Structure 1
Amino acid sequence: MTFDHARTVAAGPRQSIELASLDSTEALRLLGSVSLGRIVFTRHALPTVRPVNHVLDAGDIVIRTHEGAALTSVARGSDGHGVVVAYEADAIDPDTHLGWSVVVTGYAYQVTDPVELARFKSLLRPWAPPSLDMDHAVRIRPDLVTGIRLTARDGG
């Protein structure tokens, strides 16, 4: 969802919130400021959402996975052409409803280069249980980056 102009929505009886679009540079900067997001991909012809942690690498989003992960199988099965995914991250205060949300749509590729895999292992510590061997990685190359900022309306 994109917004061409800032618009105001009611956030409760005492506060209004203004929605403003973010440009792709600011959206990626904000996405890089948090470590947790949600990846959306297709599994058995249905949308699937998984919470994951990430790092930004030269404008790409990288996540670590394990051998049995559905995303690992989907990315591996893409024959090097990548598989379309969406990635969402946000920082929204639960009380004030102020913050931001970013959605990236692009192609996900399994990382196969051993040097890159080793680098991502050192950069990204998964929060998954230690029993999972997180020795796979998926790189998402953004094609479309959208975001919104939710701010308090002046005087609100």
Structure 2
Amino acid sequence: MVDDVGFGLLLDRQQCLALLRTASLGRVIFTHRAMPAVRPVRFAVVDEAVVFAVPAGSPLYAGARDAVVAFEADDFADDFGAGWYVSLLGRATESPVDDAGVACLCPCPALNGRRFLRIPVETITGHRISCHSA
């Protein structure tokens, strides 16, 4: 189904989660010093939640932990003519390190000083876009 504002094919919840599982880089949108802030993160989808590593003393950790945040990931062709994007909302909470899939989130050998935040999917929306003419 094409949405009513021209953003392409509207995706259902399961299609959105499947696309998120194919990506490894997304953006967390949170509040920092009463202003919107965006940080890129490496992430994994664990069950129906996005999990990512973050330094414990960072503005992202302070602003996102126990707060409602937005998350977005996408993948587009080099010419931006085709691709997809998924956006979700959820309350970020600290996640145990033993969550499945978490080891790939931190490329550094030591996890010292890192915490893992988990955003359970409360609402999710996504679109598949194709701007090329047939």
Give the alignment partner of residue 85 of structure 1, picking from 69, 78, 81. 69
How far, CA to CA, are the matches of 1:138 and 1:5 in structure 2?
A: 34
Task: Tell me if structure 2 keeps the 8 A contact 1:52–1:63.
Answer: yes
Instruction: Call closer, same or farther: CA 1:83–1:22 in 2, change over 3 Å.
Output: same
Q: Which has the larger radius of gyration?
A: 1
Size of the aligned set, in residue pairs, is 133
Structure 1 stretches (4+) deviating beyond 6 angstroms?
A: 129-132
Superposed, 1:7-156 pairs within 5 Å as 7=6, 19-76=8-65, 82-111=66-95, 116-119=96-99, 123-127=103-107, 133=112, 135-152=114-131, 155=134
TM-score by length of 2: 0.84
Task: Tell me if structure 2 keeps the 8 A contact 1:98–1:151.
Answer: yes
How far, CA to CA, are the matches of 1:139 and 1:105 in structure 2?
A: 12
**Percentage of pairs with the same residue:** 32
Root mean square deviation, CA, Å: 2.5
Structure 1: runs of 5 or more not aligned: 8-17, 77-81
